[in-house]
Amino acid sequence: MIPVTTAQEMRALDEATIQGLGLPGVVLMEHAGFGVLLHMEDFFGGLEGKNILVVCGKGNNGGDGFVVGRWAMSRGARVEVVLLAELEQLRGDAHINASVFEKLYPGCLHCVTEDTGVLEGLLGWAEIVVDGVLGTGLSSAARGLAARAIELINASKRPVVAIDIPSGLSADTGWVPGPAVDADLTVTFGLPKVAHYTFPAAELVGDLRVVDIGIPPQLVEEAGILTHVPEELDVFLLFPPRPLDVHKGRYGHLLGVAGSPGKTGAGIMTAQAALRVGTGLVTMGVPASLNPVFEASLLEAMTLPLPDDEGYLLEGALEVIANNLEGKTALAIGPGLGTNPSTVTLVRALLAEVDLPMVVDADGVNALVGVLDLLKDRKAPTVLTPHPGEMARLLGTTPGEIQSRRLETARDFAREYGVVLVLKGAGTVTALPDGRAYINPTGNPGMASGGSGDVLTGIIGGLLAQGMGAGEAAWAGVYIHGLAGDKAAQEKSEVALLAGDMIEVLPSIFKEWEEWSASVL
């Protein structure tokens, strides 16, 4: 797992290092700036002879920029620094490094406070631009001179290296409230920040590198960081080799409740995905009038015909489901259900009366509008998987508001209602009731197509059925879903990617993991 911090968490770690170890802040700044220099050399294949413009604000980000400029000079680059302030306005470690740079290279520092002509001219001269304008403390849109500098940097079309975070981004939310630097390389310090993995900010980060500036690992462990980015090894470790004497019952029995006229494919893909992640048995509870469609398409799964009216499930299906719960280990509710009033009543009754682990998606989520307190009374784990539009309906707000604070929204909802909340979208956020949250690094734009969410429901439902904890089933399921999308896109392209393509590549993922296991045993 990769720990991911807020700006405040990172400041606290910096302060603990400075105070606890007696390590001066100027030393951390030196490590940071030199680390940026090393990653620049790697990224650009050396810096000797290159024209580099460093644009510095008056905060510590600017101080880092002066260190980068000094080290780049020592590597044979031609460096000019533009400070968006007067030198006297700088404080602390930033002032120290600015003063050192001015003494070493007095003709290479240009203070700009109003007229940006000097900056515009140097941007035309530069081959590489280093962005040290604004750091992680930004809480609103960049304004004034900083905003103008950001616009000019972007307009220059030069390769940009962002120090810690591209200027103009909200480090804690991933939102882009105003003008922001579009970086090719971002070099951050200590640990990644939320914005590095959260969209839309993540799209402006470019290649992300992390510099170890000397913060002891024990301080990171003691910090109690609640947000992480899973890595493939974390997911792999959740799937130990299967014993030789297993039987299908050992790997769970998922009951799905899905389907309505025109949407039978949703439930079919849910069942197929659940089977492909190793679920022992899958039964799909479907409208009786549509059962022949499911029977013909699902060779390995069973079906449970349920009372319906013209293809929409009736509230009376609850009794049939209740009489068939023996041996079931989890439920998946929602794919293709529709929003017929009787079906909505059925979904609410299932949530209230069935004490099995449950994943709720699509129209299952929509059925919760206005009755969210049902979730607080559930005794078994519940996973909700809304996209931003569904989340907005649940909370009575707009998708834009949801997107502007994805991590915070998911975390607050999970805590309040005691569920695992999977807020889908680029950089899917999985939030747990205890405050932990996971930002998913896998997936691609090709997955934004019909049926993709149904595949995710099947994956998470299948993992729940096999006995995996709700939190792990959710974040691991999201990771596997995205990884399948990435592998399928490599073969099919993002443009031509279909939800079924993800199901087809699931076996290759588990095959690779089995080979990993064999290689270490």
Structure tokens at 141: 């849109």
Interval 437-474: pLDDT, tens: 999 999 999 999 999 999 999 999 999 999 999 999 99
User: What pLDDT is stored for residue 518 in this prediction?
Assistant: 80
Average of per-residue pLDDT across 104-129? 94
User: What pLDDT is stored for residue 246 in this prediction?
Assistant: 77
Average of per-residue pLDDT across 337-344? 95
Location of structure tokens 């740079």: 101
Short-list 355, 386, 357, CA closest to 372: 386
What is the edge-to-edge ordering of all strands in the sheet holding 420-423? 2-4, 227-229, 437-439, 429-431, 420-423, 382-384, 358-360, 330-333, 253-257, 281-287, 302-306
Interval 222-248: pLDDT, tens: 888 999 999 999 999 999 888 887 776
Location of structure tokens 């069973």: 302
User: What pLDDT is stored for residue 130 in this prediction?
Assistant: 98
Looking at residue 243, what DSSP letter applies? P
Residue 22 binned pLDDT confidence (cut-offs 50, 70, 90): confident
Short-list 228, 167, 187, CA closest to 37: 187
Interval 269-300: pLDDT, tens: 999 999 999 999 999 999 999 999 999 999 99
Residues 301/462, Cβ–Cβ less than 8 Å: no
| Preceding peptide of 159 cis, ω within 30° | no
User: What pLDDT is stored for residue 326 in this prediction?
Assistant: 96
> Which residues, in sequence order, are bridge partners of residue 128?
52
Residues 213/32, Cβ–Cβ less than 8 Å: yes
Average of per-residue pLDDT across 124-133? 97
Q: What is the pTM of this model?
A: 0.92
Helix and strand numbers (H, E) in the chain are 21, 20
Average of per-residue pLDDT across 139-160? 94
Which H or E element spans position 147? helix 144-156
User: What pLDDT is stored for residue 448 in this prediction?
Assistant: 94
Alpha-carbon span 161 to 149, nearest angstrom: 14
Distance from chain centroid for Cα 278: 25
Q: How many CA atoms lie within 13 A of 92 on its CB side?
A: 14
User: What pLDDT is stored for residue 223 in this prediction?
Assistant: 86
Residue 495 binned pLDDT confidence (cut-offs 50, 70, 90): very high
> Euclidean distance between the first and final Cα of the chain, in Å?
23
Alpha-carbon separation of residue 121 from 27, 57, 117, 179, 242 (angstroms): 33, 18, 6, 21, 65
Interval 249-271: pLDDT, tens: 789 999 999 999 999 999 999 99
Residue 21 binned pLDDT confidence (cut-offs 50, 70, 90): confident
Look up residue 175 and give its amino acid: W
Q: Where are the beta strands (DSSP E) in 96-221?
A: 109-111, 128-132, 160-163, 185-189, 207-211
Domains along the chain? 2-228 (3.40.50.10260), 251-520 (3.40.1190.20)
* pLDDT reading at 519 higher than 80: no
Residues 461/487, Cβ–Cβ less than 8 Å: no
Interval 32-63: pLDDT, tens: 999 999 999 999 999 999 999 999 999 999 99
User: What pLDDT is stored for residue 521 in this prediction?
Assistant: 59
Interval 168-219: pLDDT, tens: 999 998 889 999 999 999 999 989 999 999 999 999 999 999 998 888 888 8
Residues 279/252, Cβ–Cβ less than 8 Å: yes
User: What pLDDT is stored for residue 465 in this prediction?
Assistant: 98
Q: How many CA atoms lie within 13 A of 330 on its CB side?
A: 34
Q: How many CB atoms lie within 10 A of CB 499?
A: 23
- For 74-113, what is the HEC assignment? HCCCEEEEEECCCHHHCCHHHHHHHHHHHHHCHHHEEECC
For the chain, how many residues are written? Answer: 521
Alpha-carbon separation of residue 257 from 283, 312, 364, 454, 492 (angstroms): 9, 11, 9, 12, 31
Mean predicted lDDT score pLDDT of the chain: 94
